[in-house]
Amino acid sequence: MIPLRDDQPTFSTPFVNYFLIVINVLVFLWELSVSHRALSLFMVEFGVVPRHTLAVLTGHSYDSLATAILPLLTSMFLHASFLHVGGNMLFLWIFGDNVEDYLGHFTYLVFYLVSGLAAGCTHIVLNQASRVPSIGASGAIAGVMGAYFILYPRARVLIWFPPIFFFHVPAWLMLGYWFVMNFLSGTATAITETSQTTSGGVAFWAHVGGFVAGVVMINVFRERPHRYRYGTW
């Protein structure tokens, strides 16, 4: 199921959401401009590698603390393919504007980054032996989706079910289905012991961690004051 749009109105221009989308796209275009070897080395250095991060934090590596912490931030802006960045930016475009409208611009940026950090930490804890760099904005976007799930459960989302079916579903159903599928996939991966220890794959637990963080934080972060005075839809 691929979401195409929602019907939840906004009352302000989502400048931060636009900025995040542009930055992610520009970084991916830069990735396309460098050699495969250079990009691979870059991903290892700036993607989240659970084994390396834990080695630094536990004193089993002489690398600086920055090499363990910085990738939790930089990895949010790296992507592996057109499909990867395109899918992530589609979800951010659909759900991010409403959450930014609710929180306000600066608070939304903080919310997004903290969601991404929570997703990265979840991935590290549940994939401790992995040597594969984890990249992508999906953990942070999962936090945005978790917030949307709480704020606008009755909003309708237009879904495309390839190849030809289009239909509307309530946001709680679409986002709840997405969360359950990621949770089950993460559980199945753990049971079969085929997590990203030696090979690549989808960081399901990062998605789960980001979504849960979004659900929790949106109940802590307050709605911005005078929200309905800033614009109309």
Q: How far apart are CA 125 and CA 41, in angstroms?
A: 23
Residue 156 lies in a domain: yes
Q: Residue 49: inside a domain, yes or no?
A: yes
Which tens digit of pLDDT belongs to each residue from 87-103?
999 999 999 999 999 99
> Average pLDDT per run of 10 along the chain, which is 233 residues long?
92 96 97 94 93 85 81 95 95 97 96 96 91 93 97 95 88 96 86 51 88 96 74 45
Please tell me the predicted confidence (pLDDT) of residue 64. 80
For residue 80, which phi and psi values (nearest 5 degrees)?
-95, -20
Specify the number of domains making up the chain: 1
Residue 230, in any domain of the structure: no
Distance CA 63, CA 52 (A): 9
Residue type present at position 26 = L
Q: Are 233 and 9 in contact (CB under 8 A)?
A: yes
Query: Residue 231 falls within a domain, yes or no?
Result: no
Which residue type does 110 have? V
Residues whose CB falls within 8 Å of the CB of residue 52, separated by 6 or more in sequence, listed in order: 61, 63, 67, 68, 131
Distance CA 196, CA 54 (A): 15
Per-residue pLDDT of 6-37, as tens digits, reads 999 999 999 999 999 999 999 999 999 999 99
Say what the pLDDT of residue 70 is: 92
The pTM of the full predicted model, rounded to 2 decimals, is 0.90
If DSSP codes are grouped into helix, strand and coil, which group holds residue 4? strand
Give the integer Cα–Cα distance in Å for 2 and 152: 18
Range(s) of the domain holding residue 45: 2-224
| Dihedral-angle region of residue 155 (phi above 0 means left; psi in -120 to 50 means alpha; beta otherwise) | beta
* pLDDT score of 80: 92
Residue 30 lies in a domain: yes
- Give residue 188's pLDDT: 84
pLDDT at 110: 97
| Token pair recorded at residue 160 | 């495309």
Q: Is residue 232 part of a domain?
A: no
Instruction: State the CATH number of the domain containing residue 47.
Output: 1.20.1540.10
In angstroms, the CA 192 to CA 99 distance is 36
Task: Measure Cα distances from 179 to 16, 166, 205 in Å.
Answer: 25, 21, 10
The whole-angstrom separation of Cα 180 and Cα 176 is 6
